[in-house]
Amino acid sequence: MNLWFTEHHTPHVRFSIQVDRQIYSAQSEFQRIDIFESEEFGRFLTLDGYMMLTEKDEFIYHEMMVHVPMCVHKDVRDVLVIGGGDGGTVRELLRYGKIRRIDLVEIDALVVEACGKYLPQTAAGLRDPRVSIHYEDGLKFVRHAHDAYDLILVDSTDPFGPGEGLFTKEFYGNCCKALREDGIMVNQHESPFYAADAEAMQRAHKRIALSFPICRVYQAHIPTYPSGHWLFGFASKRYAPVLGVDWARWKALKIPTRYYNTKLHAGAFALPTYVEEMLRHVEG
């Protein structure tokens, strides 16, 4: 048998993984959900045919989304995660004993149910008593939150379909209001490499820069995302992402990681020249 999952990264580029078998398939109110099993990447989740995570490389995305802001901010107690129904982001947050509350706002209950059954590697932490799951649109949820969180992590799908609203000026402005005076927001920021992704990335950066005084971008290598070169947005009310960070404090926590380390954290903010130019272009 010769079964392949194929995603179009552009109209002229395809990315394929050989599949052993399909484990799950369903159409929810919001999107088509599939889980496959493969030799090279283990199990993987796709939504509407787009890769969300694989068991082999999800640690890169989730560690970089969580440990960068957790190293910068010394006192994170209350966290809001928007999207992230697979549970990988929550799993990394739960490594911090100081965090007392995690609100996960996921639009699609079926993603949580499917991951709970078939992707325990990421989903196991969702049952932790510190986690409250709200099945709601993140865009609507943040309209009613004020001065409530130290950290917001926008672990969304791409800027079309149900995730579209999570890339708007209104959403970023409301996230800023939902954060305390020294709060940080990190979002998945798309890729700078292919033209359509780069445009989405620039649009998001421009909108975030309108709401936050500190607005930076950092990078990671994620093999199963388009081009493998992925960006994260770091938006902050007080703390800079590298300057003045107490690296020793984070190291003393002895959090186990496979990708993140403090040297890589500092280096991840050093961007290729073409990416810096793209960002400068929209910063005005």
| Nearer residue to ligand SAM within complex by CB, 93 or 105 | 105
With contact defined as beta carbons under 8 Å apart, do 258 and 209 qualify? no
Shortest distance, position 134 Cβ to ligand SAM, whole Å: 9
| Nearer residue to ligand SAM within complex by CB, 111 or 184 | 111
Shortest distance, position 73 Cβ to ligand SAM, whole Å: 21
Catalytic residue among 155, 158, 182, 197: 155
Q: Where along the sequence are the contacts to ligand SAM (CB under 6 A)?
A: 47, 52-53, 61, 82-86, 105-108, 111, 137-139, 155-157, 162-163, 165-166, 188
Antiparallel, parallel or unpaired: β 42-47 and 32-38: antiparallel
Shortest distance, position 243 Cβ to ligand SAM, whole Å: 28
User: What are the C-alpha distances in Å from 50 to residues 32, 157, 226?
Assistant: 10, 9, 10
| Nearer residue to ligand SAM within complex by CB, 32 or 77 | 32
Shortest distance, position 166 Cβ to ligand SAM, whole Å: 5
| Nearer residue to ligand SAM within complex by CB, 38 or 157 | 157
| Nearer residue to ligand SAM within complex by CB, 188 or 236 | 188
Pull the structure tokens for residue 247: 């690296």
Shortest distance, position 115 Cβ to ligand SAM, whole Å: 8
| Nearer residue to ligand SAM within complex by CB, 84 or 192 | 84
Q: Which residue is nearest to ligand SAM (CB)?
A: 83
Shortest distance, position 204 Cβ to ligand SAM, whole Å: 13
155 is catalytic: yes
Q: From CA 138, how far away is CA 81, in angstroms rounded?
A: 9
Give the 3-state DSSP-derived string for the chain, with helices as H, strands as E and coil as C: CCEEEEEEEECCEEEEEEECEEEEEEECCCCEEEEEEECCCEEEEEECCEEEEECCCHHHHHHHHHHHHHHHCCCCCEEEEEECCCCHHHHHHCCCCCCCEEEEEECCHHHHHHHHHHCHHHHHHHHCCCEEEEECCHHHHHHHCCCCEEEEEEECCCCCHHHHHHHCHHHHHHHHHHEEEEEEEEEECCCCCCHHHHHHHHHHHHHHHHHCCEEEEEEEECCCCCCCEEEEEEEECCCCCCCCCCHHHHHHCCCCCCCCCHHHHHHHCCCCHHHHHHHHHHHC
Active site residues: 155
